[in-house]
Each structure stands twice: as structure tokens, then as C-alpha cells.
Amino acid sequence: MARDIPEQQAPPVQRLRIRYAKRGRLRFTSHRDFSRAFERAVFRARVPMAYSSGFNPHPRISYAGAAPTGSASEAEYLEIALAEVVDPSAIHAELAAALPDGLDLVEVVESPGGSLGELLEASRWSLVVRTPHAAVGPALATFLAADAVTVERMTKKGLRELDCRAAVVTLTAAPAPDPEAGTVLDLLLRHTVPAVRPDDVLTGLAAVGGLDLTGAVQLLTRLAQGPLDPETGTIGDPLHAP
């Protein structure tokens, strides 16, 4: 009996890179939930997607550097491959109308080629905790003075130890505008393997500083994500990287 031959799809003719935000209650959307919502939006907007080859073709969408569930973000990225050449601004408008409020498109540009994921070297985060600034300051100094701060996190492969200090480029603290809100931490976090998350840094900060941050975290927001300039400690724009 002859075996079925999987359908072969034509290669993409254009790729678009997309920056989107997770805001408000939609920050609790998991990456899987977002990917489903985005694929539905692509279908409703009639985007001329390119599809993978094989017995179960699926739209060519590449996600990069997704934020942890529960974190808000102004800088999430993905890339889509298309079967037709389109105007990025038109795709922006169509997809923005098809996505729910809180999953908001920020920018759509044509891909220059290369790997989008390789451009995402670091993230800048705002971490709001209810702990008073007077208590956070000494803990922060101890954390930054340490050569290494080891924390544990449960992963798919079991309990894993991570050095959360090694991934921190800069970390500062300031009183929140509302005194009752506590402290705002500004964190520049290098993307490492294994990945260190903002909550890992908070766990390490609490451990070395003797803080109890249980229930103290109000909001984690990724403000930027992209290539890291090691000299200035700033993050570039991955959609317009040289």
C-alpha cells in the first residue's frame, strides 16, 4: 500500500515582526491562551498566512521571549510568515481590531531577516512591592554586593537551582508615588540559560535581606526587551536594530 505524502507548502514570501502588550486583567493570560487568541485574530482578520508543510499544516507564527503568566508587558514579540506581500500598517489595523482589549498591538514592521529571538538579550522590568522602601534598601545593597545568590524554582524537569544575581545588570529601588503602595524596583535583567525571571530576583532579594515578600508583590511589568548595550546598560529596539 502506498503511503500518503504530506502536503508541501510554498515558502513564505514576506515576514512581519510584531510588538504587542499585555495589559490590565489580560496579564493573567498564559502564553498558550495568547497563542490561541492570536491565531483566532489572524483568521478573523484574513491575514494571508504561510503554512507549515506536513499532515497537519499550521500557520507560521514564531513567538519569542514571552513574559511569565501574571506579568504585564509593554514589549512582547512575535513573527509571522505570509504567503503574500502586504502593507504592515494594514495588517496592524486588522489584527488590532480582531484582538481583545488588553492584548494590544504596538507596532508591526517587515522583518529584515535573521533571528528575532537572538535580538532579545535583556529585559527591563518595573516591580511594585508593598514592602516599605526603608526595608528594601538595605536588602538591595546586600543583594548587589553578593557574588552569587542561589534560589530554587520548580521546573518541568524538577526542582532547579539558579544564580539569580548573575543575570541582574542593574537593580534600583525608589519609594512608590503613593506611599501606601510601598516600593518600585527598576530591574535590568540579562536573558540567560536557564532563564532567570523577575520573581526569582525577588526571591533572592528576600532571602539575602531577611524580607518577607509573601503577598507583597503588586505588579510586575516588562517595560522593554531587546539587544543589550554592555557599555551603557541600555536596551535597544529589536524591531529597528541595526
- End-to-end CA separation in angstroms for the chain: 54
What is residue 9's predicted lDDT score, i.e. its pLDDT?
75
| For residue 159, pLDDT beyond 50 | yes
Residue 124 pLDDT class (50, 70, 90 cuts): very high
Please provide the CATH number assigned to the domain covering 14-118. Answer: 3.30.70.580
What is residue 13's predicted lDDT score, i.e. its pLDDT?
94
| CB of 98 closer than 8 Å to CB of 146 | no
Residue 1 pLDDT class (50, 70, 90 cuts): very low
What is residue 4's predicted lDDT score, i.e. its pLDDT?
67
**In the chain, which residues fall in CATH 3.30.70.580?**
14-118
The pair phi, psi for residue 40, each rounded to 5°, is -65, -40
Average pLDDT over residues 123-130: 95
Average pLDDT over residues 75-86: 96
Report which DSSP code applies to 142: H
If you average pLDDT over every residue of the chain, what do you get? 92
Average pLDDT over residues 111-130: 95
Average pLDDT over residues 116-141: 95
- Lowest-pLDDT range, 177-181, 184-188, 223-227? 177-181
What is residue 181's predicted lDDT score, i.e. its pLDDT?
76
C-alpha cell at position 212: 518577607
C-alpha cell at position 3: 503511503
Q: Kindly give the pairing relationship between strand 72-82 and strand 122-129.
A: unpaired
From start to end of 24-68, where are the E strands?
61-64
Burial of 27 (0-12, 13-18, 19+ CB in 10 A): buried
CATH topology of domain 121-237: Alpha-Beta Plaits (3.30.70)
- Lowest-pLDDT range, 47-61, 76-90, 118-132, 191-205? 47-61
